[in-house]
Structure 1
């Protein structure tokens, strides 16, 4: 295997270990994904020439395709940082799995989502979300309990909280874009530049077109007098700074991982053969678990998605 050329669709121990660690995290910034890939080669195939990240992930995705799972690339809406998330592509019972969330907790997320989509800013205040607690399906929930559930969504990177307001995490956007477009056709917002789903962004006060903050930054980065790409009127908003990957490499650490999460190795290691579709899992060492610590809850977002929207419950 050492030094060999890998054919598309062939899973080596390098790919299996990478996939296993992606499963435990669910979503990672690109800096950490590259670091993870390098580590997996070091453990299993240190003499091999490392594949380009795009080819490496495409190889894994070719195997996951029949399982309706994909490692998908996106960017954060606030500052354009590249991220990779393991997402579910299925809309049938083939991907139906149990979750750790009760019916009323799932309904709380649904209501938060609706408020976020309907808002002009892409944020929903905790007050507005908690005011809907009495309307939840299933067991009654106190506002205090609802606050804790919202924090669980934040910890698992499905929501982001900023100063008492909530918006969708990039992980949720990657997985839910198709659903949101279909479910909220009248409220959905699309970026005029990249034509992807827009939750946070800026809008033209004249014609109303919207743009992601990273798209605004790139479009106007060399323009001292920014004008709307649609109507050519003056763009009244402050142009945000463009994400600089070179500067990020110099810092040697990603923004989201400045603080290492302390999690015991026992919570990290899936059982042998526990990868999707029965793919053999490479065992993780205790040292490796400490190098790549993971969130306290290792449930994948796609297990949550299938249940929250009642996809094919028959």
Structure 2
């Protein structure tokens, strides 16, 4: 996977509306990372989004990273891509996603919603300010923009800041110092630290020492929580990231796979996810290590 576009303005910007008091992961207990769940909107169906959010609330999940589904994502593996395809086959559109969030939002107490949108499939051709305002007005708490062309980043990210919509920024553990610094400078919702290169749902080895060092750097420079994703599948993985200093973790493919399994078996996907979250919250040993390299499946 190529170096991600830093999701922040390309020039110095005014401080975002969320500061160190960001509501993202504010409910996390001392010593325990916050928990974000990635899901494609529409898988499970949008009609159950209120029930799904209520379950996440009851289960102590801090954030739903809700993706507007788009086809053939170059950074996602087969599990997430199949999930997006199911949602698209059911007719899920960006407008339908925002309408579903707006309908579900009034009953939501704890979890925050960060909308993930792909520029090419979802945003291209729209006015940046109009899009940012629509996301804000639907009740989303933050926005992660994926794949914005370099020449258009400034207009889109400036529009997000003007709309008062907090930004999720991204960088890799292997990113260069300038990319890491820019991600820290412009994050106003949370900073998503991608643990390794590759597609989601694929096997990869990563360097524990490097990851720990980047987490330490980001926590000293970012004004918002640092959430680590790619490779978080078990309570043991979460325990390890807690040791390394992560403020939060992002669980993606592992949860999406449980939805796929539930649907194939005719089980309730919301209850399947409830069980999975309980498993993640259960204490468990950190994965075994061999030197400073550790293999994790995302």
Asked if these proteins are the same fold (TM beyond 0.5), I'd say: no
Bigger Rg over Cα = 1
| Structure with the higher strand share, 1 or 2 | 2
Normalising by the residue count of structure 1, what TM-score does the alignment of the two structures yield? 0.26
Normalising by the residue count of structure 2, what TM-score does the alignment of the two structures yield? 0.27
